[in-house]
Amino acid sequence: MNREELLRPLFDQPEEVPPLDGWDLVPGYIDGQHAATAMMRGPEIHFGVAPSFRRRAVLRQRTREFLAPLLARHGYLTTRVLVTSRDKQAFVQRVGFKPTWSDGIFQYYLLGHLPFERS
């Protein structure tokens, strides 16, 4: 899979793609089809779901399976979302990330364990 195909779930327009030096691209598959891509630098993660999978990809088990090996790399994951992006903030919280702090531009989040664990 080429770089453009991996990045398609993350950015709607090619001109939106920032410089990605030092970032690892990790594809996720459902039934052999590319469904998502995670972009990681250390424990920081940003990920997108391919448009054709957005309504059916974010199921609890699939989310856990996708995030488990990524979480295992560092023992935790972090992400950040623009404070003006309420829909993206709601999404990362549904996935299990907890808000930690804000610098007024970004809201920062932490995921310390796999989401959707039963207690």
pLDDT in tens, 75-100: 999 999 999 989 889 988 988 899 99
Q: Which pLDDT does position 17 carry in this prediction?
A: 66
Kindly provide the residue ranges of all beta strands, DSSP E only, lying in the chain, ordered along the sequence.
Answer: 24-30, 33-41, 44-49, 77-82, 98-102, 106-111
The dihedral region occupied by 15, where left means phi > 0, alpha psi between -120 and 50, and beta the remainder, is alpha
Distance CA 81, CA 92 (A): 9
pLDDT at 88: 87
User: Which two tokens mark 26?
Assistant: 């990790």
Identify the DSSP state of 19.
P
Helices (H), the chain: 3-7, 60-74, 86-95
Q: pLDDT: is 83 or 31 the higher one?
A: 83
Instruction: Read off the pLDDT of each residue in 48-73 and give the average, rounded to a whole number.
Output: 78
Least Cα distance to 62 among 115, 119, 7 occurs for: 115
Mean pLDDT (the chain, rounded): 83
Q: Is the CB of residue 50 less than 8 Å from the CB of residue 35?
A: yes
Band the pLDDT of 108: cuts 50, 70, 90: very high
Say yes or no to pLDDT of 5 above 60: yes
Q: For the whole model, what pTM was predicted? A: 0.79
Q: Tell me what pLDDT residue 45 has.
A: 93
- In this predicted structure, the answer to whether residue 12 has a pLDDT above a threshold of 70 is no
pLDDT at 6 over 90: no
Point out which residues pair with 107 in neighbouring strands.
81, 102
